[in-house]
Amino acid sequence: MELTGTDEISLAHLNARVTPARQRPRLHIGGERKRGVRGCRPTAGRVKQASVTNSIKRKHVASTVVIQAKQGIGDVIWHLPFIRAIAATTPAGIVTFLTLPSSHARELLAGEPCVAETLYYENRGSGLARTLHLVRLTALLRRLRPETIWILDRSARPALAALAAGVPNRIGLGFGRQRWFITNAGIDREFYHDYPVEWLTALMEAMKVPLATTEPSLRLQPTLTTAIAQRYAARPRPWIVLGIGSSAPDKDWPMERWGEFIAGLHHRTPGTVFLIGGPHYAARAERLAESAGAPTVNACDLTVMEATALLQKADLFVGSDSGPMNLAAAVGTPAFGLFGRTRVLTYSRFIHAIQPDDGRAPMPNGMQRISAGGAVPLRPVRGLDEQTEISRAIGAVVSTRRGGHACGKLRGRDFFRPRPAMISSCRSRKSRRSPPSRDRAMAHRFARTGRRSGRRFLLHCRRISLVRS
């Protein structure tokens, strides 16, 4: 018997099947019992599906996956230097980035050459929903088939998903239950209460990954920045962008304070004030713009990338500790952050802290203790004559009394420097055991930001003998 080409393909396909289809009886409507194959499709259909599947080439993905489990826009920004450092250690110089949809990472990292692809996953919800998200993350990692996965968070669920997906190299911080599922040793437990930036810096050092800087330096498409510049070209300079929104109510500044602040700005500078915060704050921005009058622009209708381009073209940013503040620092614009509820961020030289008037540690009512009045004029900024009037306006409108005096350059160092402190064990006298370099760095960070956080600060005082002057 002579076989045609279609019959040869059918026989080859049937011979390739290792396990035959399961046979079981099936009852027909007429009552007659027959035996057949359950769910078996015609052979020609299976041959067609096999040929289509073989013709599709698997999309190239990076051999290294980086997971960031936080949900904010700012979290993506300050993770960016660590993503670049990890990508530089891979053979292809690229990674696949996994994070939450609320971070807008796909838009923000579209121009980043070290990120081959940005994929979203979820990890929030009830206990059942989190379990389902864990199963989906495991299936996603199985499709990607990476050789190495970096978990830039202390959560144990991504590490468990990587183990279930069969990823051979699983690198994480090693805090809590995560240490059961990773293949590296993790970092020292003493970093547990530090900033997440310090966690990752310690992790890079432990894994011998060079980290040149923690500055994000976000890259934007030139066409986008040009379009924003042309859109607002008629607006007078300087441009001051205010971030009137926040991810949490206790991190937001009251409405009346924003009104006083904008009114004070208009009395001291002829520039334009832009209000950003997203669609949820459009009504609030409209009320502020109407009460303040021209020149105030309600820019809450801008997308995330358009707002980032506006921040790059702006001369100054003022707002709470939120995504827009981190975006401003990422594009090199001086960002004055209202840190009444949260600790001061120090990963970028473009972030300048405005803390409560009494200088106390951050607490739930800290934003209420930052006043919009109080005359604390700033010194002229040397080398930045075009921003002198802006800096004076900010200093005259926002009270910056926090146990320190205003000094320093607007770019390159902290704008507000606290009163000096003495590290007696390191400089005044010789001690039996010199404190480690990390303790000296922690002492410098406490002295620079002026934070006094109760019990934790007292513990550090014991270790490094930090004494107020």
Q: What superfamily would CATH give domain 64-206?
A: Glycogen Phosphorylase B; (3.40.50.2000)
* pLDDT band at 304; cut points 50, 70, 90: very high
Question: Is the pLDDT reported for residue 441 higher than 80?
Answer: no
Return the percentage of the chain with pLDDT > 90, whole number: 48
Q: Where are the beta strands (DSSP E) in 331-456?
A: 335-338, 351-354, 404-406, 416-418, 421-423
- Identify whether the C-beta of residue 176 lies closer than 8 Å to the C-beta of residue 224: no
Sign of CA dihedral 217, 187, 341, 249: positive
Question: Is the pLDDT reported for residue 125 higher than 60?
Answer: yes
Question: Is the pLDDT reported for residue 149 higher than 60?
Answer: yes
- pTM for this entry: 0.69
pLDDT number for residue 194: 87
Question: Please, is 108 exposed, middle or buried when counting C-beta atoms within 10 Å of its C-beta (0-12, 13-18, 19+)?
Answer: buried
For residues 375-396, average pLDDT: 41
Question: Is the pLDDT reported for residue 390 higher than 80?
Answer: no
pLDDT number for residue 45: 41
Question: Is the pLDDT reported for residue 337 higher than 50?
Answer: yes
Same fold: 64-206 with 222-418: yes
- Identify whether the C-beta of residue 370 lies closer than 8 Å to the C-beta of residue 257: yes
User: Cα-flanking dihedrals φ and ψ of residue 138, to 5°?
Assistant: -60, -45
Tell me the C-alpha distance between 325 and 257, whole Å: 18
CA proximity to 47, closest of 55, 35, 39: 55
Lowest mean pLDDT among 367-376, 383-392, 460-469: 460-469
pLDDT number for residue 142: 96
Which pLDDT tens digit goes with each residue over 349-374?
999 998 887 777 778 888 888 887 53
Tell me the C-alpha distance between 370 and 301, whole Å: 28
Which pLDDT tens digit goes with each residue over 202-211?
999 999 999 9
| The pair of three-digit structure tokens given for residue 326, joined into one six-digit string | 């981190």
Q: Which CATH architecture has domain 222-418?
A: 3-Layer(aba) Sandwich (3.40)
The three-point CA angle 122-65-159 to 5° equals 60
What does the domain layout of the chain look like in residue ranges? 64-206, 222-418, 421-468
CA distances to 123, 238, 285 from 126, in Å: 10, 47, 34
pLDDT number for residue 61: 57
Sign of CA dihedral 277, 280, 282, 285: negative
Question: Is the pLDDT reported for residue 432 higher than 90?
Answer: no
Which residues 6+ apart lie within 8 Å of 246 measured at CB? 252, 320, 321, 322
pLDDT higher for 417 or 232? 232
